[in-house]
Amino acid sequence: MLLVPCPNCGPRNSADLRYGGESHARPDPATASPLQWRGYLYLRDNPADWLRETWYCRSGCRRWFTLERNTATNEFRDPPLPGDKRGGKA
Amino acid sequence: MADRPVFESPVVRGYETADSGDLVLADASATTKWLVCASASGAVADRLGAPFGSSSTGAGGVIVLGSRPGEWIVLGTADAVDGAVDGLDAMDPSDHVSALDWTHGRALFRVTGPEAPRMLEKVCSLDWSDPMTPDGAVASASVAKVTCDIARNDVDGTPSYLVFCDRSFGQYLFDALIDAGDEFGLVVGPATGQ
């Protein structure tokens, strides 16, 4: 099981989230060439190393967020800390 | 305010369970429930008083659940909830505030009993032990593969959980909770709400 550190909900089973793929900067539509658009839409780096990627917390906070994950070890680097989210009576 | 439509529960099928037991599942779908969306910090958030992950009980027994960042579920009797959400949209003109009557769109079940945490842990991946989710804690998670909002709302010191889901999943989730509670002697209690 892969525990994904959601910045709002804390560590969650990856089955509770949706993987959004590699996080890439979107090229400027006004100036990007067709080759650049093709690269943005269809090509992935897919490294066996650290990768910045997006996740969607579909069963929890329903927010998109980005994380850095080592695709070889599934380790997360500097995960955002949700703080004490145990809740309770306000 | 216009007449309220007659409420029809999504649970239309019951099951024979034990006559009595310590673990009780009740259909509370008829409870009036509103969804409020606004900035996570601001005048509306201050008035509702339940940050994400927590809950509060206000005037008339209205329960406010901080279900997501910038989202709250308000539930209680119809009149009390009307009072709690009245005027929210006019509190801060710079904020985008919406308040929606969810009563007919969401199923709501209450599970009460000492074994309720163990029962929930069979169908939900969250840790429902006291240190992690004390009374008043609120979370959203998959319950029997259905995305639900769950709030711990103890009754006289006994662990009790409110489980919300989309109305269309109501009967399925009710069935799944009965299945999960069977080994703990679950009984189906009378429907509650108004």
Indicate the number of domains in chain B: 2
Q: Which fold has domain A3-77?
A: Folate-binding fold (3.30.2270)
Percent of chain A with pLDDT over 70: 88
ipTM value greater than 0.90: no
Summarize pLDDT for B1-48 with one digit per residue, the tens: 567 788 889 998 877 777 778 899 999 999 999 999 999 988 999 999
Supply the CATH number for residue B78's domain.
3.30.70
Which chain B residues are within 8 Å of A85, Cβ to Cβ? 52-53
On chain A, the residues whose CB falls within 8 A of the CB of B124 are none
Per-domain residue ranges of chain A: 3-77
Interface of A with B (CB under 8 A): 8-9, 12-13, 15-16, 58-63, 85-90
Which residues are B33's β-sheet partners? B75
Is residue B14 included in any domain, yes or no? no
Which phi and psi (to 5°) does residue B111 adopt? -110, 125
Same domain, B109 and B65: no
Q: Which two tokens stand for residue B168?
A: 């269309």
Q: Using a CB cutoff of 8 Å and minimum separation of 24, what contacts does B146-155 make?
A: B146/B172, B146/B173, B146/B176, B147/A58, B147/A59, B148/B124, B148/B173, B149/B65, B149/B67, B149/B73, B150/B120, B150/B124, B150/B126, B151/B55, B151/B63, B151/B65, B151/B67, B151/B73, B152/B128, B153/B55, B153/B63, B153/B110, B155/B112
Report d(CA B66, CA B151) in Å as an integer.
9
Residue B109 lies in a domain: yes
Say whether B136 sits in a helix, a strand or coil. coil
pLDDT digits (tens, 9 = 90+) for B85-126: 998 988 888 899 999 999 999 999 999 999 999 999 999 989
Q: What is the CATH number of the domain that holds B162?
A: 3.30.1360.120
Q: Which residues of B touch A62 (CB under 8 A)?
A: 68, 140
Q: Which three-class secondary structure state does DSSP give residue A34?
A: helix
What does the pLDDT look like over B127-146, one tens digit per residue? Answer: 999 999 999 999 999 999 99
Spell out which residues of chain B touch residue A90, defining contact as CB-CB under 8 Å.
Answer: 49-51, 54-56, 64, 66, 136
User: Which spans in chain B are helix H?
Assistant: 43-48, 78-85, 116-123, 170-181
B140 and A59 within 8 Å at the Cβ level: the answer is: yes
Question: Which residue, B5, B76, B68, is CA-closest to B34?
Answer: B76
Percent of residues, chain A, with pLDDT higher than 90 = 72
Q: Examine residue B1 and state whether it is found in any structural domain, yes or no.
A: no
Contact at CB, A87 and B68, closer than 8 angstroms: no
Q: What average pLDDT is seen over chain B?
A: 91
Q: Tell me, yes or no, if B55 comes closer than 8 A to chain A by beta carbon.
A: yes
- Asked if residue B71 belongs to a domain, the reply is yes
**Is the full-model pTM beyond 0.90?**
no
CA distance A63 to chain B (A): 9
User: What CA–CA distances, in Å, run from B144 to B115, B162, B165?
Assistant: 17, 15, 11
What is the tens place of the pLDDT at every residue in B55-74? 999 888 999 999 999 999 99
Range of the domain at B137: 24-30+105-188
Cβ atoms B187, B115 nearer than 8 A? no
Residues of B in contact with A8 (CB under 8 A): 52, 68-69
Judged by CB atoms closer than 8 Å, whether chains meet at B69 and A86 is answered as no
Buried b (16+ CB within 10 A) or exposed e, B58-76: beeebbbbbbbbbbbbbbb
Question: Of B82, B101, B120, which residue constitutes the final position of a domain?
Answer: B101
Residue in A15, A59, A89 nearest the CB of B56 = A89
- Identify the domain boundary among B101, B133, B157: B101
With contacts defined as CB-CB under 8 Å, which chain A residues touch B137? 86-88
Residue A90 has its nearest CB partner, among B54, B69, B147, at B54
B134 — contact with chain A (CB < 8 Å)?
A: yes
Confidence of residue A87 (pLDDT cuts 50, 70, 90): low
**C-alpha–C-alpha distance, residues B181 and B148, integer Å:** 18
Which residue is closest to B67 within chain A, CA to CA? Answer: A61
Tell whether B133 is within 8 A of chain A (Cβ).
yes
B154 closest CA partner among B168, B137, B167? B137
